[in-house]
Amino acid sequence: MSNQILETGPVPEIYFDQALGDLQARGWEEPRLSLQAEPETLQLEQQDDVIHLSCQGDCELRLPVGATLRIGQVNGDLSLKLLEDQLIIGEVRGDLVLRNVAITQIHTVHGDLAVKNASDDLHVDLVYGDADIRQVAGQCVLNEVRGDLDLANVDGDVQANVQGNARLRLSELSGTDYKVRAAGDIYCYLADDVDAQIRLTSEGERIKVRLPQGSNTFRQMHHELTLGEGAASLTLDAGGAIYLFVEKAGWGEAEIPYGFPGASTGVYGQQIAQQVEAQMAEMARRLNEQMEHLTDRLGKFGLTPEESERIAEQARRVGEREASRAQEKLRRAQEKLERKLEAQRRRAEQRAQMADRRSRRHTWSFEWPAPPTPPSSPKSASTEEERLMILRMLEQKKITLEQAEQLLSALEGEE
């Protein structure tokens, strides 16, 4: 790579139309733009403090911290750090990492999204992977996250729609309206001094609330409670279970209950595989389209046929590298899924064995011969038979452990 310097003012407008490879941009105090890329892959136009860029490979930028940056499309990964003005990002085919940025608008991220220390509002339309959001000084709007969400410390309002599980760690509720919908489970950690009116909806009819004065589990779809004066509104809507923990701030990773981030491992893993495969297919389709018209577009820049062919060959190599990265990502996702499935299977077996032992303690004596008992009534014999049938169904994995516990509890209530 070679380095190129463009003199600018302290607040230029930079339009990065397309990067076929990875793009890294970092703010600095210098009133100039530094570009590192292969010269033949880079196209740029400058008119005063307005700069248009495009790169057929990887590119690294150093730009004034006060620059306004608009990015159209990045086929690889995108990393942006130390930028104090507005960011507008169109489409990122790989992962997106943001550190110490200001107001940010993002359309689509095909990989994972990681944001830390945003000093203003964050608005995201679609993330195909997981989203890890920490320290947002303004509002946080996540219209759709296809994977899991880990959200910590947002000063403004929150709106999020998640297809996986969601973990929320909110030491303060400085905003007024917090709404999170997750197709999986929701784990929410609140400080013990927050003021909030809380509405919980669990389609799985399992709501666990741990307060400083004690814990309760509600086998119901809806539950409401008020903390402090109820100044903020917190609405959590889960397709699975909801775990609400209200305690002193400073919780650690050890506090995370079993099940995050892959409580429904089968569905979660299937989504990962489908997402990565879809990304690979879409990448291949668009890359083919781009290669078909690349030579014509390069000719418009006044390049010779030999120069155009050389750039096209470099673009092909970038495309092959991106396809290889996508395949590696799929392989890692599948391995991660297998590990989760195995761990979940072992835990489920242990819990099933514990449930079985509890049931046997109610019906048999292990250490001392049982005294003679009168003949059982038809009702008690039927109940015992049903209990054994439930345990066999659990062992054969025809029902879940939670369903087995509910059925066993119902039988005990009939006795």
pLDDT tens, position by position, for the chain (415 residues)? 678 899 998 999 999 999 999 999 999 999 999 999 998 899 989 998 899 999 999 999 999 999 999 999 999 999 999 999 999 999 999 999 999 999 999 999 999 999 999 999 999 999 999 999 999 999 999 999 999 999 999 999 999 999 999 999 988 888 889 999 999 999 999 988 888 999 999 999 999 999 988 889 999 999 999 988 888 999 999 999 999 999 875 544 434 443 344 444 444 455 555 555 565 666 666 666 666 666 666 566 566 677 667 776 776 676 666 666 666 666 666 566 655 556 555 666 665 566 555 554 444 333 333 434 444 444 444 455 666 677 767 666 667 777 777 777 666 655 4
Distance set, CA 325 to CA 8, 25, 265, 285 (Å): 35, 21, 24, 16
Q: By CB neighbour count within 10 A (0-12 exposed, 13-18 middle, 19+ buried), where does 376 fall?
A: exposed
Q: DSSP letter string over 28-76?
A: ESSSEEEEEE-GGGEEEEEETTEEEEEESS-EEEEEETT-EEEEEEESS
Closest CA to 78 of 108, 50, 35: 108
Q: In Å, what is the CA distance from 153 to each residue of 134, 163, 167, 179?
A: 6, 21, 12, 14
Only one residue has tokens 């999170």, namely: 180
Residues 164 and 146: beta-carbon distance below 8 Å: yes
Are residues 19 and 76 in contact, defined by beta-carbon separation less than 8 angstroms? yes
Nearest to 46 by CA among 86, 88, 14, 70: 14
Task: Give the Cβ contact number of residue 362 at 10 Å.
Answer: 11
